[in-house]
Structure 1
Amino acid sequence: MNVLNWEIEQLLRNENADFVHFVDISMLNVRQNRGLPYAILVGLVINPQFIKTVHGDPNYVHTINDEYAQTEQRVGLISDKLASWLIRKGYIALSQSDNALLVENTFDFTTKTSVLPHKTIAVLSGIGYIGKNNLFITTEYGAAQCLGTVLTNAPLSIVKRHIKSPQCGKCNICKDVCPQRVLNGVCWDINVSRDDIVNVYDCVTCLKCLVYCHKTQAYLKRAIKQD
């Protein structure tokens, strides 16, 4: 790891980021990567007590002020801070926080898509995969993380990793618990589109597909034991 990578990791750890990965995005088209070769992936893990609360309340309603929303907002602010830090060092850096995407006009409200989703970068990092719930899933945290990304031309040290295949198998718990029936039970691969997996237009973000995921539940059990 070079000095710049180390400095970035220290900055992000001081912001309480739970994981940081440096990703090669040079193979993507210019519209997606904006002509920048690298991305920095930042992850904040969702509090296991919040997962337990949502799982135990069949009538839970996600709001813009709950812990999940606050975690999403916080990782966006961290991404903005990192991008500003890189720019001050003389590099090009683009935060992909919600606010930054609005300013850059790279989010399409009609189709609910961004030019380069965090999940695409996360998959390229090799640390997880997109599940049948259309969420990014890692072995350590299941679907219980919020992601942020910064694109840059900073000379980062990159370790290339293989893209992981989905490990959902025959499990359809996310599809079965979805009250809106928006999930199709389809596994992601390079030829599968988002719309094949989920009907985002009818999704109400109830978070059931996140908390009921077996990988998320495994993370919850480990966290409870550690407490």
Structure 2
Amino acid sequence: MIATSELRELLYNGGASLVGFGDISALQYGGYTSCVALAVKIPADVVYGIGLGPTRDYFEQYRALNSKLDSLAELTAQYLTRQGFRAMAQTTTAVAESSGFRTPMPHKTCATRAGLGWIGKSALLVTREYGPAVRLSSVLTDARFDCMAEPVNTSGCGSCTACTRACPGRAIQGALWDVGTPREKLVDAKACRRTARALAMERIGEKITLCGKCVEVCPYTRAYLEKENLL
């Protein structure tokens, strides 16, 4: 049994913004029964700057935060293996993107199992603290933790249509998520990717899928920006 307080403190000191521990035993993936979900917030000033489209700062933050999350995931896995448990850090290099733009055990699934938030109409994880203005990673393990979160099984978006109306690719369908909702009911992934890549090329000259409009307009993101005195 692992004490979550010690590991949580280690991760927050390492730069994590949100940390959660969840039960994934019912998902039957590789013999792993638990997950550690990690989130790092995107700096508020960077989010504020993408109102008119992706920026160079936004692009650079994606790379920097991915690197930070990889370090946090590796730190977590090392901590757990030292305790005698199996642990797989789902870093950007360890987990290859499979067909259909999916990973075998998505970070978002781990995040909902670990109580960090719900899947929004944009198909992004929405947290109460930062909205979808976060980057995610996760660690799979067979360790048991002394304090496991209640999983989040339903959407908290309600009747809000901010991201649906703002999406430049009209990719967001406006449906509410619950466990078992296929991504296709929420978002047209091909339309999202096509539009985001066109915007990124137009704005910053990069061949990358990067937009951020649904992140910037989310009311939970706006509340985060307001707390940072940017609105």
Whether TM exceeds 0.5 here: the answer is yes
Displaced runs of 4 or more, over 4 A: 61-65
Larger CA deviation: 167-176 vs 59-68:
59-68
Q: Conserved in 1, the CA contact under 8 Å of 2:22 and 2:115? A: no
Query: What displacement does 1:72 show?
Result: 2.8
1:22 paired with 2:21, answer: yes
Counterpart for residue 143 of structure 1: 132
**AA matched with 1:44:** V
After superposition, the CA RMSD in angstroms is 2.1
User: Deviation of residue 141 (structure 1)?
Assistant: 1.3
1:46 aligned to which of 42, 45, 53:
42
| Distance in 2 (alpha carbons) for counterparts of 1:202 and 1:76 | 29
Residue identity opposite 1:71 in structure 2: L
Partners of 1:214 and 1:157 lie apart in 2 by 33
Secondary structure at the residue paired with 1:99?
Answer: coil
Instruction: State the distance in 2 between where 1:88 and 1:70 align.
Output: 27
Contact preservation (8 Å) 2:49, 2:55? no
Pairing 1:213–2:218 present: yes
**2:11 matched residue in structure 1:** 12
The aligned length equals: 214
Aligned to 2:162: 173
Cα distance in 2, alignment partners of residues 197 and 3 from structure 1: 36
- 1:117 Cα deviation from its structure 2 partner: 0.7
Normalised TM-score (structure 2): 0.84
Distance 1:25 1:191, change over 3 A: closer
Summarize the alignment of residues 187-198 of structure 1 with structure 2, pairs less than 5 Å apart: 187-198=176-187
- Are residues 138 and 196 of structure 1, via their aligned partners in 2, closer, same or farther at CA, if it must alter by over 3 Å? same
Aligned residue type for 2:34: Y
- TM-score (ref. length: structure 1): 0.85
AA aligned to 1:211 is E
Q: Would the aligned equivalents of 2:111 and 2:117 in 1 still touch at CA under 8 Å?
A: yes
Change (3 A) 1:68 1:167: same
**Secondary structure class of the residue paired with 1:69:** helix
* Alignment pair present for 1:71 and 2:65: yes
Q: Could you tell me which amino acid in structure 2 is paired with residue 134 of structure 1?
A: A
Distance 1:24 1:76 in 2: 21
Q: CA 1:158 to 1:28, structure 2 compared with 1: closer, same or farther past 3 Å?
A: farther
